[in-house]
Amino acid sequence: MSGSGGFGFVLPHWFYWGWLAVMPLIMMALDRWFAARGSQAVDLNAEANEKLKKIEAELKGTIESDYKNWFTRGVDWISEKSGVFISFWTVNAVVFYFFEVVMRYIFNKPTIWVHESSFLLFGMQYLLAGAFALLHGAHVRVDVVYNYLPPRGRVGMDIFTSMFFFMFAFALVITSWTFFENSYSMNETTVETWGIQYWPVKAMMLLGAVLITLAGLSKLIKDVAQFVTMGREQSA
């Protein structure tokens, strides 16, 4: 970060990475604390919320399986928590850009790190949010044929198309590992003036690929169980 003295305050690299690791944990703890204080109201509305979720799932054309084992529960928990974790990163982008506007237009001292830090932040959010989106059926789906299928047909279609998903997921894992290994070995940094380490971003790409692969495997297990169960109910 040499030669950056004329830009005023420059966020240290170590603080940026450390803050991204700690800040969501603090926010999640506060959220849990506030939720505990309002647990009575949440309990009263739990049944209504569950019914609402099922209705929303049906409107989206998705079918949620009730089949779960220790693996699917664990993977679904990780997918859920990872999505909540990175969602709090958005708060940082808002604060960073507010700081940039104040420094640029009030003090006439534009920063050299705000745009890059937010750019990396959003990129890592995109990479890590795949598992959370898959868990909640938020990925883009081509519904031209899917919506006309019966419920069991939709589950069967999900099972059939999963092989294309895993082809993509495994390729993403292998490619991400290569990117991360090369970046870490050369201690790659960004080409902007801030010059922050780039290999952690490649590591998030690898982590996101692993998470979405596990989430896809969990969904496949539940879909197969759902498909078999629905077949037995139809033949009974």
Say which residues have a Cβ less than 8 Å from residue 107's Cβ, sequence separation at least 6: 8
pLDDT category at 69 given cuts 50, 70, 90 is confident
Mean pLDDT of the chain: 86
Q: Are 89 and 24 within 8 A, CB to CB?
A: yes
pLDDT of residue 138: 87
pLDDT category at 57 given cuts 50, 70, 90 is low
Closest C-alpha to 204, from 190, 219, 186, 184: 184
CA atoms within 13 A on the CB side of 30: 8
Mean pLDDT on 166-170: 96
Report the alpha-carbon distance of residue 93 to residue 101 in Å, rounded. 12
pLDDT of residue 32: 87
Beta strands in 116-172 (DSSP E): none
pLDDT category at 50 given cuts 50, 70, 90 is low
Mean pLDDT on 201-208: 96
Mean pLDDT on 76-95: 94
Mean pLDDT on 131-147: 85
Q: Could you give phi then psi for residue 197, rounded to 5 degrees?
A: -60, 135
Q: Are 223 and 65 within 8 A, CB to CB?
A: yes
Give the CA angle between residues 127, 131, 133 to the nearest 5°.
95
Mean pLDDT on 130-143: 87
Closest C-alpha to 169, from 132, 206, 197: 206
pTM score, whole prediction? 0.83
**Domains of the chain: which residue ranges?**
8-235
Within 10 A of 143 (CB to CB), how many other CB atoms are there?
10
Q: Are 153 and 230 within 8 A, CB to CB?
A: no
Mean pLDDT on 65-73: 78
Lowest-confidence range among 2-16, 120-134, 165-179, 222-236? 2-16
Mean pLDDT on 200-205: 96
